Amino acid sequence: MKPLRVLCALWLGLLMSVRAAEAPRPNIIFIMVDDMGWRELGCYGNTFNETPHLDQMAKAGMKFTQAYAAAPVCSPTRAALMTGQWPARLRITDYLGPQEKEKFLKPGTPVLSQLLKTQGYVSGLVGKWHLTGDYTLNRGEPQKHGWDEVICSETTYIGPGYYFPPYKHMPEEKVLPGKEYLTDRLNHEAVEFIKRNQRKPFFLYLSHYAPHTRLVGKPELVEKYRQKPGAGTERNNPQLAAMMETIDQGVGGIVRTLKELKLEENTLIIFTSDNGGEATRGQGKGITSVEPLRGGKSQLYEGGIRVSLLAHWPKGIRAGSECAVPVSTLDFFPTLLELTGGKVPDAKLQDGVSLAGLLRGEAKLTRQTLYWHYPLAQPHFLGGRSAGAIREGDFKLVEFYDTKEVEMYDLSKDISEQHNLAPAQPEKAAELKRKLMAWRESVNAEMIAPLPPTEAKGKKAAE
C-alpha cells in the first residue's frame, strides 16, 4: 500500500501544480490618488467623508494599517512604484517641478508597464504621470515607458491642477456630455479601457490628480457636505469630501463594470495614495487633518508618509482581512511581477519585497527595515525639512540634515510621535542612525547642499 500512497501523493501534487499553472493570472487595477490623508476613508475611521465603495472594498478584501509611501511627496513615490527601487537609488527624491531639467525617470529603466507587457498584459495609464520635469525637453514622457495606452496624462507641468475644461495641463481630446469634471473623466476612461481589453489580461494604472490642492469639488457635492453637521473644520472639509466622493464613485463604477463582464473574481484592485495629506498651509493650517498622526505632506513624520492601502481580489484575498505589517509603495513592483509570472530584471537593483504572501494571509516578510531619504536645498513650503528616516520594528528615527538632530519614537506606543526617545536611549538612536547612514551609502544617495538665500527665494517664487 505504501508505494500506492506515494504514487497518489505524487499524482495529486502534479495535478495541483498543473492547475496552478493553468489558473488565469489576475487582471490588475492600481488606483493611486494624490495627497490623500491616512484617515480620509470611512474604513479608516472618517465619519464625515462618504466613501461607501472603498469601505466595501475593505470589507471584501484586505486593509493595511501600516502602509507607507516611499516618499513624502509625489514624484519619488511614483518612481518607486514603477521600478521597485528606493527613490534615493533613482536620484528622484523630490517632486519634479517645471524647472527640473536633469531628473526624470529615464527611458530604458525597467518599469512595470514594460515588464507586464512581456507577460502578455496590455497596459494603460489613465491620468497623472509626474515623472518628468521640463516637458519642453520632450523626454521621459510615459509613452516612452512601454504603455500601450496613455489617456488624459499631463503634457505640461500640472501645477495647481484644473478640474473643469478647458484643461491647461493636458489636451482635452474630447469631453463627456454635460459639464465634465476631471475625476469623472478619468473614471470614465478607466471603465472604457477595461471594456476594450476584457478578453486579455490587463494592467490599468488609474492615477488621479485629485484631491491634490487646489481643492475643487463638484459644486452640488460641495454644497451637500456644507450642510452636514460639523462642516468647515480641517477634519470636515466640504471641498475635500466632495472630491473623495467622486473618487469613490469611480471605484464603484469600476467594480460594477468588472461584475458585468464577469471579471471581478480574478481582478486585483489596489487603492492607495502617493503620500500623506496636506496638513499645514498658510498660518499653520492645512486642508485636512491627519490626526492622530503628526505632520503631513513633505514631512517624514507619520502624517507625511503613512497612507491608506486596500487590496481586493476575491480569488486571491480572504474577505475582511487586515494586515499590520509595515509595507511600502516599492513593494508592488515585485508583488505584481510574482502574481503575473514575471521576473525581477536585476535583483541587485530591486529594493521592494513581494507582498504576495501577505495577500494570501501569511503575516511575515523577510524585510525588517524601511528607509526614506528626502534631501532639500531649502525647506518645503508645507513645512518639510531636509531629512532621512528609518523604521526598524516599532522604532523609527528621523535625522534632520539641516541641524544634524535626531528624533526617535516607538510607534507601537506613540503613533503621534510626541515622545522623543533619543535623549533617553542614545545607544539605540546611534544604532539606527548608523544603519541609516550605511543604507544611504549602499544606494549612493545624493546629499543636497542648502541654496544661498537669494537662490532659495527665486526657487520658491517659481513654485
Catalytic residues, by residue number, are 74, 130
Cα–Cα distances (Å) from 247 to 32, 53, 208, 241, 336, in that order, read: 10, 10, 8, 10, 23
Cα–Cα distances (Å) from 94 to 89, 97, 149, 345, in that order, read: 13, 9, 27, 25
Q: What is the signed CA dihedral for 32, 191, 202, 153, rounded to 10 degrees? A: -50
Cα–Cα distances (Å) from 214 to 35, 147, 211, 250, 379, in that order, read: 11, 29, 8, 20, 21
Residue 434: closest CA among 406, 411, 414: 406
Half-sphere exposure of 223 (CA within 13 A, CB side): 3
Q: How many whole angstroms separate alpha carbon 230 and alpha carbon 237?
A: 9
User: Cα 253 to the chain's mean position, in Å?
Assistant: 21
Q: How many whole angstroms separate alpha carbon 349 and alpha carbon 98?
A: 28
Cα–Cα distances (Å) from 65 to 28, 43, 220, 326, in that order, read: 22, 11, 33, 8
Half-sphere exposure of 144 (CA within 13 A, CB side): 12
- Give, in degrees to the nearest 5, the angle at Cα 326 between 322 and 328: 110
Q: What are the φ and ψ backbone dihedral angles of 71, each rounded to 5 degrees?
A: -155, 165
Upstream peptide bond of 326 is cis (omega within 30 degrees of 0): no
Cβ(375)–Cβ(386) below 8 Å: yes
Residues 6+ apart with CB under 8 A from 156: 135, 168, 169, 170
Cβ(102)–Cβ(94) below 8 Å: no
